[in-house]
Amino acid sequence: MQYDQALKVLEEADCLADRATVEAAIDRMADAITASIGKKKPMVFCVMNGGLIFCGQLLTRLLFPLELGYLHATRYGHETNGGDLEWKALFQADVEGRTVLLVDDILDEGVTLKALVDECLTRGAKKVLTAVLVEKQHERKVLPGYCADFTGLELPDRFVFGYGLDYEDMWRNAPGIYAVKGM
């Protein structure tokens, strides 16, 4: 995408959640996560690349001991539609017997997140919880009723970007959650 095109995408986009709304959602999630697993010294995995900005902001609000790692699995690559799951970086830490928190940017259909949860359980995790900044509201989930354990914002089924979410590899740095015009 050309520079001018990228600027136009943001200019024409609908802001679904401004910075203050996103920050308040992250605060609520941090409180809920702390209450749930704050005394379990969890292993937290940031799901790259989308989870990076959200995870970084969430971590500064989790005031309890934890270990941090990252995973990278994607179904999108440079596309706007999901395909087969591709593992780019697997676990660097042992999760056997551990409470695990997976932190990702979005739960759309849930295929990637479910695969990550299943992999943690296969590797012997005691408990696996998920935290997503955005959950799209639609009926195409990998399993009926599938949802994250901790969700910041529930948004309509539109193509969204900002706070880690990208549109054609751009605007992960947008200071809110935006929907692409017409998508």
pLDDT in tens, the chain (183 residues): 799 999 999 999 999 999 999 999 999 999 999 999 999 999 999 999 899 999 999 999 999 999 999 998 876 554 555 556 777 667 778 899 999 999 999 999 998 899 999 999 999 999 999 999 999 999 888 888 899 999 999 999 999 999 999 999 899 999 999 999 988
* Residue 83: predicted pLDDT: 57
Q: Give the C-alpha separation, 170 to 183, whole Å.
A: 16
Cα 174 to Cα 164: distance, rounded to the nearest angstrom: 8
Coil, strand or helix: which one is 81? coil
Architecture of the domain delimited by 3-70+96-179? 3-Layer(aba) Sandwich (3.40)
Give 130's strand partners: 102
CA distance 68 to 85: 23
Burial class (CB in 10 A: 0-12, 13-18, 19+), 152: buried
pLDDT score at 7: 94
Distance CA 29, CA 34 (A): 8
Residue pair 165/172 in contact (Cβ under 8 Å)? The answer is yes
How far apart CA 127 and CA 61 sit, in angstroms, is 22
* Domain range annotation of the chain: 3-70+96-179
Contact 176, 161 (CB under 8 A): no
Question: Residue 69 belongs to what H/E stretch?
Answer: strand 67-74
Say if residues 132 and 113 touch (Cβ distance below 8 Å): yes
